[in-house]
Amino acid sequence: MGTPVPPSESAREGYVRRMVAAHRPGGPLAGAFYTSADIFREDLARLWSRHWLYAGHSCQIPRPGDWFTYAIGADSVIVLRDERGEVRAFHNTCRHRGSRVCPGEAGSGRRLTCPYHAWSYGLDGRLLMDSKADFGLDRSELSLHPVKARNVAGLLFIALSDDPVPFEHAFADIERKLRPHGLERAKLAHKIDYAVKANWKLIFENNRECYHCAPNHPEYVKATYDVARDDAHHDPKRVAEVDRLVDEANARFRALGLDEGDALSAMTDEHWRCRRAPLMKGFTTQSLDGKPVAPLMGDFKERDAGTLRITIFPNFWQHANDDYACSTRLTPVGPAETHVRVAWYVDGEAVEGKDYTLDRLLPVWQRTSEQDWDICQWNQQGVSSSRYVPGRYSLTREQNVAHFVDWYLREIAR
Ligand code: FES
Ligand SMILES: [Fe+2]
């Protein structure tokens, strides 16, 4: 879109700098940010490579030797459970001639064997054969390249960079608040993969406001205060009502030994949040009728723990209720395409058909997600128009979108 992109590295650098400088704060990005292959490449190189990314869930690899792969751009990462039960990750590229070692999505075995010439690696990434005589290099020099990995109360994160953005404080906060939900003892009840024809930023921008909720999410708005909170800006009576309900919910959370929360959608910190939110009166979980859809998870003995919202730029959000959690993972595929995986987790002992059914578990987040993907795809089509001009954000309903865009521009300008 617009300015032609020169090919050299320094010219590209100049192009990005000019694009960032031309941004008018308080409104959406210029079209090129959502459509240009060059900007997309810079997004991956400058931002996705440096940030912690949600890869999957610990229940995908319950036993030593279990692995799954996660691809971001040209990189593929093997996430596995090693002999000691720890989660580790490695670049999925063989130290011989570079083939993918694990070409599939998931598997299990005590060793990782490259399909090309059958070099085998242990679960610690070390080459298992003696390479000195035939290849002139000691096998210690031919281990798989490690990738930083963290298991945070059942959520598995990786970082492609050896020196990622510091995130220990966030992991500690998430670990503490998520632990009672028992996600480490959960099982995957269902997952749906979507190929959404929209830039990853449009999808995250959409996530950062609930201005669109009333016209688009009839199921979601019944359970949560996001829209009520928005309306409260215009109706002082509603402010008092929402504040009172939040106070009541917090008293209950305290009694349950949980962290307190509020009905705000702002970030806890610059690019992440982990905050409990009360559900509407009459709702103990995010279901169509407010009634439980699965057995209590983790340490919970009583219903009504609200919903623990975790949001991490650039690729993850999750709502953990007391009976199920629903996580969303974004993976950029191209300037106008993002792979999205939505996954539902329930207690590991719960039996489908007896303790829960998918027709009760899925609807709120399946419908809400699919409604969002429609919106995002229409947004992508619109910003690709030759007549697209960035508009303005609402000062009361879209300040979190402005916050996301400001964060993005700082990251891309680094
Ligand atoms: S490329 Fe892996 S064994 Fe040859
Ligand atoms: Fe939405």
CB of 111 sitting under 6 A from ligand 1: no
- What are the residue boundaries of the structural domains of the chain, listed by start? 56-162, 170-408
Tell me the pLDDT band of 99, cut-offs 50, 70 and 90.
Answer: very high
- Give the integer Cα–Cα distance in Å for 63 and 348: 14
Q: What average pLDDT is seen over the chain? A: 94
Tell me the pLDDT band of 228, cut-offs 50, 70 and 90.
Answer: low
- Give the integer Cα–Cα distance in Å for 320 and 330: 18
Ligand that lies nearest to the alpha carbon of residue 129, given by its number in the listed order: 1
Nearest to 316 by CA among 337, 331, 335, 306: 331
Q: How many CB atoms are located within 10 Å of the residue 386 CB?
A: 7
CB of 114 sitting under 6 A from ligand 1: yes
CA 127 / ligand 1 centre spacing (Å)? 11
pLDDT at 9: 79
Q: What is the DSSP string of 98-161?
A: ---S--SSEEE-SSEE-TTT--EE-TTS-B-S--HHHHSS-GGG-PPPEEEEEEETTEEEEESS
**What's this model's pTM, rounded to 2 decimal places?**
0.95
CB of 55 sitting under 6 A from ligand 1: no
- CATH code for the domain defined by 56-162: 2.102.10.10
Q: Quick one: which atom of ligand 1 is closest to the CA of 94?
A: 2
Q: What is the DSSP string of 41-98?
A: HHIIIIIITTS-EEEEEGGGS-STTEEEEEEETTEEEEEEE-TTS-EEEEES--TTT-
List pLDDT tens digits, range 260-297: 887 777 777 789 999 999 998 899 999 999 999 999 99
User: Residues near 95 by Cβ (< 8 Å), separated by ≥ 6?
Assistant: 119, 127, 142, 143, 144, 145
Nearest residue CA, atom 4 of ligand 1?
Answer: 117
For the cut 70, the answer to whether the pLDDT of residue 231 exceeds it is no
Where are the extended beta strands (E) located within 314-365?
316-320, 325-334, 337-347
The DSSP element (H or E) to which 191 belongs, if any, is strand 186-196
pLDDT at 190: 98
pLDDT at 102: 98
Question: Would you state the structure tokens that stand for residue 343, as one six-digit string?
Answer: 């996954």
Nearest residue CA, atom 3 of ligand 1?
Answer: 117
List pLDDT tens digits, range 62-94: 999 999 999 999 999 999 999 999 999 999 999
Q: Quick one: which atom of ligand 1 is closest to the CA of 98?
A: 1
The amino acid occupying position 87 is V
Structurally, what CATH architecture does the domain formed by 170-408 represent? Alpha-Beta Complex (3.90)
CA 121 / ligand 2 centre spacing (Å)? 44
pLDDT at 1: 47
